[in-house]
Structure 1
Amino acid sequence: MITRYHAIYYARVLAQRAIGDNIDSLSQSLLNAAVDINPHQIEAALFAFRSPLSKGIILADEVGLGKTIEAGLVLCQYWAIGKRKIIVVCPAALRKQWSFELTEKFGIDNEILDSKNYNEYVRIGRNPFDNKKVVICSYNFVARKKDEIRLFGFDLAIIDEAHKLRNVYKKNSVTAHAVREALENVKKLLLTATPFQNSLMELYGLTSIIDENIFGDAKSFRANYVYEENYSELQMRLAPYYKRTLRKNVVEYINYTKRLPLTQKFDSTDLEFELYTKVSEFLRSDNLYSIPVKQKMLTTMMVRKILASSTYALLGTLATIKARLEKMLEENKYQQFDLNEIFDEDEIELLNENEEDSIDSDVNSPTEDEIIDTKQIQKEIAAIQSFINLAEQIKHDSKAKALLIALQKAFEQIELIGANRKALIFTESKRTQAYLKEFLEQNGYRGKIVIFNGSNSDKQSNEILEAWLKANAYTGKISGIRAADRRAAIVDYFKDKAEIMIATEAAAEGLNLQFCSLVVNYDLPWNPQRIEQRIGRCHRYGQKSDVVVVNFVNQRNYADLRVFELLNDKFKLFSDVFGTSDEILGQIDGVDFEKRIWLIYQECRTEAEISAAFEKLQAELESKINTRLKDVKEQVLKTFDVEVQERLKLAKEHTCAFINRYEYIFWELTKFILGDKAVFNDSNHSFILKERIGESPKGKYCLITSKETEGIPYRLSHPLAQYVLKQASAIKVTGGKIIFSPLETELNVTLPEDLKGKSGYLLLSSLDVLAFDTEQYSLFTAYTDDGQPLSQELCEKLFLCAGREVKPTGLTPVQQRKLKESAEQHRKGKLQQIDSRNLLYFKEEEERIFQWEKDMINSLEKELDTIKRQIREQERLIRNAVTIEEKIAATKKLDQLESIKRRKRNELADREDEIASKRRKLLAELDSRMIRKIHHEDLFAIEWQIV
């Protein structure tokens, strides 16, 4: 039980803002995150808040350590304190995953912004970025809209897979340059497991994305750290911007399971082989009306994938292409190509992602006015009809029969390891999905299957949704967003009832299916990142069992064999604990790699040609990883603390205590403010709201840390929680008295023995300081009646104790004066602490600016030194000249060099002035931010007694 005075203090604690790398900087975020947070993730998130002057950091944890959660904690804290202009930049394929993570784990509204909805916002006169949501978009989108993004002025940018920008220092990196320019003045979090691969210059590129003034120019960086190898100095200068945790440091509290590969080999029939060969040869043809010229690569790539997926899917695609050609012939004019007519929405989604990450083709398609070649079209129609005739003779695919064998083997294997009898089957085609569902139902799995795709508009999915809505009418799980509820309903059905989920890849992004330990790649993407994402639906943090990964290999298709070998042996996707190594996956551009594979299929016919092409591709991959560079990484990117494990252990204990305290404050404040409007269950931290309050409906609510799963997630950012804070902050009180009862408190609060039975008086005042950023404090000043002062920490503990209000006797004028004078001293002491800390921030930035100036001037001086060496060499040649011609030539060259030297000296003087001017400007900006604005207020003064 708490009092009005507790409520005022609690509301202040829950809303106040902090600066620096102490855990108070994440207080709101920790009450909003519905995820188990590990110590290294807290440490990484706090690193982002280390200095308010920093323009950003690189979070470079090894794969599998939850960089998304680290960034999410930072993002969530920004959101909680009202800095809500936030953008997430990532590869197109990861946009949906980011959207789901932010919604499910942090409860933050977000929107994927692409050209289509951007243009729609513009059409109706709205700023597409100003939608009160986190904006998620691809690299190419940011590059295209760089001016608009720069003008909008985001508070925070999360850049995922940031290694894609590491070549920004090169002139031809157009997209990277545009992204840097768009986000120049924004605080940035760069996420990558591989900050550099081929050269230290890539590390220079990444740091320049954060701030172009961390190091000098590319020439000076190359001279100082690539040629001269000053690795210890480089590491020291990187320390404020770079955070990396290794898996070996966290094994004590994160249990990673293994991947167990199961390869099911099969032989295609003669009919299947004939169909594959003929369609492949057709796709290699030039100038086909069947394939749009401008989108040839994307279309042929998709048709090849469908060809490998299932005959049933291929039939649908061929029939649609044939119908389009027949219409063209009938109307005697070229029909503009619409990919939506040929491929289903899930296949289109994959095509769009390839298009998002690639440069548009400059090839022009025919126009409707152009005369068509009717003989060519008739020839193509005949060819496609022959393919259809062949396909219709194939009743069941060999691979589908192999699936039955693989499922039996895999189920036996996961039963042996004690995992749930559940399988997640992936396909890239919705048509293949439908075929597999029917095939499996005919072979012993009827009533055990659920499908998951982009629409889920089939009868079974609708029935599942309606049953789920009915069952969860009063649980708080219903979001009201039809697509999100349908998704949740199907996942719950898979978890509780079905044995098999057949999912299309585009739909399943962002799903967390740790309860399933069997992943089946019915068709295999060529993009290694996509495979990693598939397996990652099940093999992720929280998975309790080893995960079996099933793949199919057609032994009659040599190209398929080589693709599988590359993915399995080089990328190690299907085995080991962590799957793909940082060294490989981080280096490969998935879309580019996919195009390389497509090119092999398109251009190579014989086994010898295929083998040579794959050998060349593999050699290129291997050349990107060399031992020498690994040694450099060890020296430059090693962790900065040799006692990491011990530090993380202490951090875990501290974090748990902190979260427990904040959760207790949040819970008790909610109980106090809602009072009779709700019925509370302290044992599982849930409550029933009896009436609607503002946007918050009546019903069951649960703290996000509660083990109770049936209810509306109650977090600090929820409208009901914001109502609670607002009501508590509005409470007005005059002098009072509290009887504190430590023994009646749910938390384990330990007070000094000599305080028991004592009484005294206390003042709580607020202090808000705005300098480099806003920070807020709640300052206690307290004494016992016999004049002993109580520390800030002791007062904070006191207000964690239960209490009740009683009639006060009133503070004497002496007590009031003593509190006021002591509070003033407390405030001055806190301001001195703040000034001292801010001075450290200032000095750190000042040192960075001086280092930048030194880099730039040294670079210019080295150019001049080079010229001087050349002059000395020419003078030597003049002295040693044997012929008059040699002497004249050397003298002429010397004159040119002397001219260059004079010009360089002048340039050096001008550039020194320019650099010094920029340095003065940067320091002046820092200086102006040092001037602080202060607001303080006495919140209440009370008498107290401890029983």
Structure 2
Amino acid sequence: MVVIDEAHKLRNAYRPSNRMGQAIKWAVEDCKKVLVTATPLQNSLLELYGLSTIIDERLFGDIKAFRSQFINDSDFDELRERLKYFCQRTLRSQVIEYIRYTERKAITRPFSPSDDEQKLYEAITKFLQREDNYAIPRRQRTLTTLVLWKLLASSSTAVAGTLITMKDRLEKMIDDLNVDDDIALDIIEQEELEEDLLDEELDELEDMDAENSADTTTTNALDKRKLEAEIAELEGYIKQAQNIGTDSKTESLLTALEVGFQELEKMGANRKALIFTESRRTQDYLFNFLEARGYKGRLVLFNGSNTDPLSRDIYKQWLEENKESDRISGSITADKRVALIEHFRDHADIMIATESAAEGINLQFCSLVINYDLPWNPQRIEQRIGRCHRYGQEHDVVVINFLNNRNQADMRVYQLLQEKFNLFSGVFGASDEVLGTIESGIDFERKILQIYQQCRTPEEIDMAFVTLQSEMEAIINSRMEDTRKTLLENFDEDVHQRLRVQLDKTHYYLDRLGKQFWGLTRFILEGKAEFYDEELSFNLLEAPEKDIKTGKYVMISKGTKPDNNCHLYRLSHPLGEYVIDQGLNQNTPPAEIVFAISSHTARISAIEDLKGRSGYLVLSKLSIESLENEDHLLFNAYTDDGQVLDQERCEKLFQCRGRVKYLLDIDKEHRQRLQNEAQIHAQGSLNCSVEKSNCYFQQERNRLDKWADDMVLSAEQELKDTRARIKIVKREARNAVSLEEQLVCEKKLQELNRALRKQRQQIFDVEDEIMEKRDQLIAELEAKMVKRTTHEILFTIRFHVV
């Protein structure tokens, strides 16, 4: 199985140009896949199509059919119906009764730039609107303009740096040097703007830029006088930008930080703020500005490269502190991220981050998020806020978004963000508040103070949570009853907490797999290690194999905080793999085992009546090779007084501590009975597997039928398009004002009618081909239904329960 986290990065995998997506799709084609993402839909419904192709190319038809059904016709109901078989979406609102989630307070703060800033904005806007300047290649005019508007909304420093890049390019043109036309991509790279944020704009602009490129001839003579004038013009704009000094938005940021930190201290929250900007140059500018305003030594940067002197020093210090531990992964990029996050947690007040920090990091210790620049992608805002507003956050999270009300690009971005959030809600259900209402901006300081006054202390959050639970007690109780059986099979600590099932006498919780792994480790390493159950740690005194180190090991689990000088113990650790291998190869002859349910930490009502009783038990393994390979561990048992124990009660019995009393031979009568019952149990499990496979087969058959319908729809769409064009040309012919125009229309009609007849003929061939492919796929599915099984006895015991 392949698990792909942050799977939304593969949303464009359907495009041949998306090399990473295409490569991953090819590499995992024959594997089972689980795609994990909090933001499956960001800009367009086509992203869902892209993600579906990673799972299976035939969940939908081709791109034309998907666009026709779900984008042009907006058939959300049918889309949700198709998605439900392979998509599971859980919102915070669905688990709010069980999980102690804090709230978020979002506010969008409009600000007015100074006259100098506005003059620069207007001058550059006019410059960008000119069609004949050399600074922007015609092939990338629209994209470059959008990027520059984006930087204008960020900072004058970012604009100045970009204008210098453009000026340098023009100076190379004067010197007759070869000049790369990909200036937009150069800017994206310098500023660390993420290319995937521009995907939607690129789609819309590809055709337009291609037309512009076609109109441009490479043989046009270079007008050096005009070029020199343009360089001088850019130098003037650069000087204007550099003379601005401190931007108006930056002063607003300082106000937000000062008030925010005061209120955080009153609430007992950490004095931490996470500031997001889209520009590397703006990031450096903010760092220098805040350093000069009293925050020197309290700042940390986070970006795609993390190569600045401060980040290098932090990383060097982290390596020194962790040199004796297993925490150093060997990946410089990953270890740097960890080092910077820990420095922010332990030493810094403010992290200034680019989009690189919007995914894959956990900052629950921070409860103030400031979007200094609004991203173009609505789910990017959600991802940013989600770094802090996540499970484990103890305080309400305040989110401040800055919006330039004199920058039409900034206002347009805000409008698009609202529209795209509506698109997301239509398919998956509403997300939490991320933008907030646009405030009047009259008294920003008072508004931030008001927002913080609405925030609560951890005690108030707990009280609100208790009140909410009380109000919804009836709903909670009914849901608790529905999930009770599931809970018995899943001992994950998070689920215990969500459903308020507490174990009062234990300090550390482990899921069932963890408990079994810990018990097996104690058994296999007995005599080779000293164990400390309370800490879930042990000191390995003797290495069982050459590549395994001695020393202190701490088992990875919720609630444990290992120090830096120990080994993290897990299933995939070489020692963990050794323990598993040894366990699988253990000899298990017939034995007598005493189970001590009286000393178990939690009451197990299902087996309490077995106390003081004895019986016989067998464990067998059934392996099924079919559509899915399955392994079943099957218990059969009965007591001396004839009571038969079902699978669940046997499993509960093995959750208790046991000891081998002495070895014995099971007499022939009991051995034969246990083997017969194990055979019956195996046959029953096989029948259930067959029934499940039949249901799966029908579901897959229906899916392939829908895929075939999608493909036929795609073929029919071309026919519809041609008919639509014929109608348009007929209307043009009727409205023609001259014989010449009528003749042109008649000629077009003849060509379109020929194409129509050809498409009618072809559609039958296409339908036959699609149906043949569908039948072939169904036949392959039927072949996989053939089952091969093996059944073996693993052990047989005599048991006593005390």
TM-score, length basis structure 1? 0.62
**Match of 2:160?**
315
SS at match of 1:938: strand
Report if aligned partners of 1:335, 1:368 keep a CA contact under 8 Å in 2.
no
Give CA deviations for 1:126-183 in whole Å, capped at 9, x if unaligned: xxxxxxxxxx974435877869946973324567666689978xxxx9x959975993
Q: 1:176 to 1:372 in 2, by over 3 A?
A: farther
Report if aligned partners of 1:779, 1:792 keep a CA contact under 8 Å in 2.
yes
Report the residue type matching 1:322 in the other structure.
Answer: K
**Quick check: 1:791 aligned with 2:641?**
no
**Match of 2:314?**
464
SS at match of 2:359: coil
Task: State how 1:708-787 maps to structure 2 within 5 Å.
Answer: 708-710=561-563, 714-746=569-601, 748-749=603-604, 752=607, 755-785=610-640
**Match of 1:878?**
none
**Quick check: 1:183 aligned with 2:34?**
no
Report if aligned partners of 1:677, 1:689 keep a CA contact under 8 Å in 2.
yes
Task: State how 1:324-723 maps to structure 2 within 5 Å.
Answer: 324-329=169-174, 331-337=175-181, 339=183, 343=187, 345=189, 347-351=191-195, 353-355=197-199, 358-359=202-203, 360=206, 361-362=209-210, 363-364=212-213, 371-554=221-404, 557=406, 559=408, 562-563=411-412, 566=415, 570=418, 582-583=425-426, 645-646=479-480, 649-650=483-484, 653-654=487-488, 656-657=490-491, 660-689=511-540, 699-710=552-563, 714-723=569-578
**Quick check: 1:201 aligned with 2:45?**
no
Report the residue type matching 1:566 in the other structure.
Answer: Q
Unaligned runs of 5+ in 1: 1-77, 79-83, 96-135, 189-194, 211-238, 574-578, 589-640, 858-905
Alpha-carbon distance in 2 for matches of 1:336, 1:565: 33
**Quick check: 1:252 aligned with 2:103?**
no
Report if aligned partners of 1:781, 1:792 keep a CA contact under 8 Å in 2.
yes
Report the residue type matching 1:773 in the other structure.
Answer: E
SS at match of 2:130: coil
Report the residue type matching 1:201 in the other structure.
Answer: D
**Quick check: 1:153 aligned with 2:29?**
yes
Report if aligned partners of 2:14, 2:50 keep a CA contact under 8 Å in 1.
no
For this pair of structures, how many residues does the alignment match? 681
Over aligned residues, Cα RMSD in angstroms?
4.9
Report if aligned partners of 1:704, 1:714 keep a CA contact under 8 Å in 2.
no
Report the residue type matching 1:140 in the other structure.
Answer: R
Report if aligned partners of 2:41, 2:424 keep a CA contact under 8 Å in 1.
no
Alpha-carbon distance in 2 for matches of 1:270, 1:381: 24
User: What displacement does 1:666 show?
Assistant: 1.9
**Match of 1:289?**
134
Report if aligned partners of 1:154, 1:186 keep a CA contact under 8 Å in 2.
no
**Match of 1:109?**
none
User: What displacement does 1:516 show?
Assistant: 1.3
Give CA deviations for 1:279-329 in whole Å, capped at 9, x if unaligned: 221122224332233333332222222233222233322223222322321
Report if aligned partners of 1:267, 1:554 keep a CA contact under 8 Å in 2.
yes
Q: 1:467 to 1:907 in 2, by over 3 A?
A: closer
User: What displacement does 1:518 show?
Assistant: 1.2
Q: 1:673 to 1:553 in 2, by over 3 A?
A: same
Alpha-carbon distance in 2 for matches of 1:147, 1:488: 28
User: What displacement does 1:391 show?
Assistant: 2.7
Alpha-carbon distance in 2 for matches of 1:561, 1:929: 56
Alpha-carbon distance in 1 for matches of 2:376, 2:324: 45
User: What displacement does 1:696 show?
Assistant: 6.0
**Quick check: 1:930 aligned with 2:800?**
no
Alpha-carbon distance in 2 for matches of 1:753, 1:89: 45
Report if aligned partners of 1:166, 1:196 keep a CA contact under 8 Å in 2.
no
Report the residue type matching 2:57 in the other structure.
Answer: E
Alpha-carbon distance in 2 for matches of 1:564, 1:529: 13
Alpha-carbon distance in 2 for matches of 1:143, 1:679: 53
Give CA deviations for 1:25-68 in whole Å, capped at 9, x if unaligned: xxxxxxxxxxxxxxxxxxxxxxxxxxxxxxxxxxxxxxxxxxxx
Give CA deviations for 1:230-261 in whole Å, capped at 9, x if unaligned: xxxxxxxxx75676656554221134433334
Report the residue type matching 1:328 in the other structure.
Answer: M
Alpha-carbon distance in 2 for matches of 1:909, 1:371: 55
Report if aligned partners of 2:424, 2:430 keep a CA contact under 8 Å in 1.
no
**Match of 2:656?**
801
Give CA deviations for 1:591-640 in whole Å, capped at 9, x if unaligned: xxxxxxxxxxxxxxxxxxxxxxxxxxxxxxxxxxxxxxxxxxxxxxxxxx
Q: Say which is worse superposed, 490-499 or 665-674, in terms of deviation.
A: 665-674
**Match of 1:140?**
15
**Match of 2:125?**
280
Report if aligned partners of 2:13, 2:51 keep a CA contact under 8 Å in 1.
no
Alpha-carbon distance in 2 for matches of 1:909, 1:463: 69
**Quick check: 1:824 aligned with 2:658?**
no
Q: 1:438 to 1:648 in 2, by over 3 A?
A: farther
Q: 1:728 to 1:275 in 2, by over 3 A?
A: same
Report the residue type matching 2:75 in the other structure.
Answer: M
Report if aligned partners of 2:172, 2:178 keep a CA contact under 8 Å in 1.
no
Report if aligned partners of 1:423, 1:520 keep a CA contact under 8 Å in 2.
yes
User: What displacement does 1:382 show?
Assistant: 0.5
SS at match of 2:516: helix
User: What displacement does 1:933 show?
Assistant: 0.8
SS at match of 1:343: helix
Report if aligned partners of 1:529, 1:585 keep a CA contact under 8 Å in 2.
no
Alpha-carbon distance in 1 for matches of 2:763, 2:283: 68
Report if aligned partners of 1:749, 1:801 keep a CA contact under 8 Å in 2.
no
SS at match of 1:380: helix
Report the residue type matching 2:191 in the other structure.
Answer: E
Report if aligned partners of 1:688, 1:700 keep a CA contact under 8 Å in 2.
yes
Give CA deviations for 1:686-728 in whole Å, capped at 9, x if unaligned: 3445566576655533223243254665444555433322221
Report the residue type matching 2:375 in the other structure.
Answer: P
SS at match of 1:506: helix
User: What displacement does 1:935 show?
Assistant: 0.6
Q: 1:652 to 1:471 in 2, by over 3 A?
A: farther
Report if aligned partners of 2:520, 2:579 keep a CA contact under 8 Å in 1.
yes
Alpha-carbon distance in 2 for matches of 1:814, 1:316: 88
Report if aligned partners of 2:595, 2:656 keep a CA contact under 8 Å in 1.
yes
Task: State how 1:861-900 maps to structure 2 within 5 Å.
Answer: none
Give CA deviations for 1:311-361 in whole Å, capped at 9, x if unaligned: 2233322223222322321x3244124549953746244245425873444
TM-score, length basis structure 2? 0.72
Report if aligned partners of 1:495, 1:515 keep a CA contact under 8 Å in 2.
yes
Give CA deviations for 1:435-454 in whole Å, capped at 9, x if unaligned: 21111111111111111111
Q: 1:249 to 1:484 in 2, by over 3 A?
A: closer
Alpha-carbon distance in 1 for matches of 2:194, 2:764: 55
